[in-house]
Structures are given as C-alpha cells and as structure tokens.
Amino acid sequence: MFDITEEFAKQLDAQDPLKGYKDEFYIKANQIYMDGNSLGLMSKRAEQSVLNVMNAWKKYGIDGWTQGDYPWFYLSENLGEKAAPLVGAKPEEVVVTGSTTTNLHQLVATFYQPKGKRTKILADELNFPSDIYALKSQIKLHGLDPDEHLIRVKSRDGRSLDEEDIIAAMGDDIALVVLPTVLYRSGQLLDIERLTKAAHERDILIGWDGCHSVGAIPHQFHEVGADFAFWCHYKYVNNGPGGVAGLFVHERHFDTEPKLAGWFGSDKQKQFDMEHDFTPAESAGAFQIGTPHVLSVAPLIGSLELFNEVGIEAIRQKSLNATSYLMYLVDELLSEYGFTIGNPRDDEHRGGHVCLEHKEAASICKALKDHHIIPDFRAPNVIRLAPVAFYVSYHDVYQTVMTIKDIMENQTYKQYKNERDIIA
C-alpha cells in the first residue's frame, strides 16, 4: 500500500481531495505542525470571523445582541446547530458554551444523583486529570469519599483500556459512567456504542469526554443514546486557545432541570422577564450558565464553515490514511532506534494521533522543535504526532519521520535534557 520514497509522499498529496485546505491556515514558513491534537492552528476564516464580531460590537454596541450577521443572544445555540453534525446530534441537543471542565461539572452535578446502593462514579485510570479532579469534587459535594466512590478501571498495559474490564466494572453500585472517547496519551478509540449500550442495560447513565476526538472522528451520540457528552473546540476544531467548549444532552433529558442554573440557560422568550423562578430552555441550551464569551467563541464561526464544507467523514478518511502512513514509516525507518507505536493499529480503535514511544521522548521533542517540527510530549515517554487532515500533508509526515531518523542517527537529541518544559 505504501512505500518509503519521497516521491510516493508527493503522489499521495497530489491525490488528496483536501490538499487545498492547507492554504486556509496560518503556518510558519518551513514549519510542520504536528500538535493539532493539543492546539489547532488559526484559519483565515476564523480570523475573519473574529474581526466580523468585533466590527459588530463597534457598529452596534449593545444592539449586537440582536443585530448583525451573528446576533450574540442566539450565538451559542446557532453554533451548537452547526457543530451538531460533528457529533451526530440533533441541532437542539448541542450548545456551544463554557469550558470542558465547567461543562463536566454542570453535567455531573445534574446527572450524578447517588441514592440507595448506587452511589459510585465509574471512570478510568488513564483519563485526563481535569476530569478526575471534577469527578472527585462532585462526589465530595454529596458528602462522600472519592477514594470509595470513584472507581477507576485499571489498564492492563499502562496505555490502553480493555472494554471487557470496563463493562465488568459496571456493577449495581454505579450511578454514573464518565469515559473518554479517545485516550489522550495512546489515542485509543473506545467503542462508544457498545459501552453506552452496556451501561444502559444495567440502568446506568453514561457521558463521554470528546476532547480528543471531536473534529477528527465522526460520532453518533444521538443514535447510540449517550446521555451526555462534552468537549473542547481548541484542538481539532481550531477555535483558538481557551476557545469556548461544547456539550451534548440527549433530547430524552430535556425535562431534567440543570442543577447549576444560570440565566443564559433560560427559555429565551422569558430570559429578560427577570423572574426569580428559573424556566429552563427546552434544549441543551438549558445547560448554559453565564453570558456567552462572545469574543472567545467568534473563531468557531469561521472554523465550522470549513467543517461543514468538507464533512467530518472526509476528514476522518484523511486522518486514517495519514496515521496509517505515519505508522508505516515508523516501522520501516525508526524501529532500529528503539521506537515503538503505543496506539491501536486498527482503524476502528485508533484516534487522530500516533503515540510514538521512546525512552528519550522529551529530548527528541525538543530536537524536533529546533528542526521546525512541532510535536507534543506526554510523560513519561510519549511523542504524540497528529497529522491533522486540514493542514498536514503526506509530505509533512514523510519529512517528520526523516527528521526523527536524522536526529537519532546523529544523536542530536543528546544535546537536550530528557525532561519536560513547564508546558509539555
């Protein structure tokens, strides 16, 4: 299927239906950006949409809430409708709001209601720390001990989760399950449909953290019946640092009142009645808390144009092809230098990045940066490489692997300390 020549990489680019979209993004000259699974690049359309929103503020003042191309009062719901195809949801089931962790707090506060024997939350030991912090604090708010009431499924190999182990842990003492769609280190993609079905067969609610998949992998949250999901937009969706996040709530829960109420979760027709009795919106919009961060959500207007133009299925196909090609080159050219691949190799269980493991991972990442290739390091030994479909070419993938090979052959990585910087 592949070969190791540079000419083959150029042939793949010539056949790539998304090749023109690289010009839509700001990329430094002579730089290869392989860190879009941590922070996506700025697109020209995102930049323009920020300028458009600022001009609306300049032109309309307070009337910008209801006037202009993107009235701010309805912006969170309107962008939720545009983001819904990325997660396989009905338009009213998605709203763009908050941050990943604040949305998780809102959703867990609402759906984690321990009673009787069901008092525990099921998570996993490989999850991103912020999720675990939030789950522990929500358990404490109920006067319970996280050491007893937070169950974390163990990994058998330190990099992946066995779905049989997750299902086996869904006992009659579990009130809620919260899992990542894709594990942030290894890139393992869990079977969302299977695990959601297993939870519901046991009368357990289940929610999903889509931070490392939304924008790279199609989801069908409505169809599989997930109770809720939450995600950021600053990775694969390219909404910028600290960009506003998103959440999904299945329509069957629209009659569930959010436990963290705020006025932007109100029925829009009643919000400015200023009554002290909360009337929640009959949609995922009810789970908003505060006033939308209009300037922080503005880049998403332009970014979602690109996704709606291309379609998430085409993005996934390019991602699968590029990660397969990257793994092939690693096997052929880097195995003699002690590299191993830590992510699943099959398409069904692989996310949008390749988990490259090496004992000198931190120093290799620093050497790559000095060669104008931007990777991502995760302790203790992981180099994450994300060939994002919009702006990483097959030739970029080829050059990345060849540069790593050169770094190893010439041992230039030894010039750097094998320890992470303040921000990894």
Residue 1: the pLDDT is 83
Element (H, E) at 401: helix 394-409
Calpha distance 372→30 (Å, rounded) = 7
Asked if the model's pLDDT at residue 421 lies above 90, the reply is no
In the block, which residue shows the tokens 């190791």? 4
Tens of pLDDT, residue by residue over 283-311, are 999 999 999 999 999 999 999 999 999 99
**128 annotated as belonging to a binding site for a ligand:** yes
**129 annotated as belonging to a binding site for a ligand:** yes
**72 annotated as belonging to a binding site for a ligand:** no
Q: Quick one: tokens of 285? A: 């919009």
* Residues 22 and 41 sit within 8 Å (Cβ to Cβ): no
Closest CA to 185 of 4, 356, 364: 356
What residues does each domain of the chain span?
Answer: 6-30+312-415, 49-309
**101 annotated as belonging to a binding site for a ligand:** yes
Tens of pLDDT, residue by residue over 108-146, are 999 999 999 999 999 999 999 999 999 999 999 999 999
Amino acid at 324: S
Residue 249: the pLDDT is 98
Q: Which CATH class is domain 6-30+312-415?
A: alpha beta
Calpha distance 77→279 (Å, rounded) = 17
* Residues 328 and 322 sit within 8 Å (Cβ to Cβ): no
* Residues 122 and 176 sit within 8 Å (Cβ to Cβ): yes
Tens of pLDDT, residue by residue over 316-347, are 999 999 999 999 999 999 999 999 999 999 99
Q: What percent of the chain has pLDDT over 90?
A: 98
* Residues 375 and 36 sit within 8 Å (Cβ to Cβ): no
**Over residues 4-31, mean pLDDT:** 97
Calpha distance 124→160 (Å, rounded) = 10
Residues 6+ apart with CB under 8 A from 362: 377, 379, 416, 417, 418, 419, 420, 424
**2 annotated as belonging to a binding site for a ligand:** no
Average pLDDT of the chain is: 97
**403 annotated as belonging to a binding site for a ligand:** no
Asked if the model's pLDDT at residue 207 lies above 90, the reply is yes
Asked if the model's pLDDT at residue 422 lies above 90, the reply is no
Residue 139: the pLDDT is 98
pTM as predicted:
0.97
CATH number assigned to the domain with residue range 49-309, chosen from the 4 options 3.40.190.10, 3.40.640.10, 1.10.3210.50, 3.40.718.10: 3.40.640.10
Calpha distance 184→208 (Å, rounded) = 13
**100 annotated as belonging to a binding site for a ligand:** yes
Burial class (CB in 10 A: 0-12, 13-18, 19+), 218: middle
**Over residues 370-395, mean pLDDT:** 97
* Residues 65 and 82 sit within 8 Å (Cβ to Cβ): no
**209 annotated as belonging to a binding site for a ligand:** yes
Asked if the model's pLDDT at residue 424 lies above 80, the reply is no
Tens of pLDDT, residue by residue over 143-190, are 999 999 999 999 999 999 999 999 999 999 999 999 999 999 999 999
Tens of pLDDT, residue by residue over 34-86, are 999 999 999 999 999 999 999 999 999 999 999 999 999 999 999 999 999 99
Asked if the model's pLDDT at residue 374 lies above 90, the reply is yes
Q: In 10 A of CB 121, how many CB atoms?
A: 23
Residue 420: the pLDDT is 84
* Residues 153 and 124 sit within 8 Å (Cβ to Cβ): yes
**Over residues 270-284, mean pLDDT:** 94
Residue 409 banded pLDDT, cuts 50, 70, 90: very high
Cis amide linkage into residue 241, ω under 30° from 0:
no
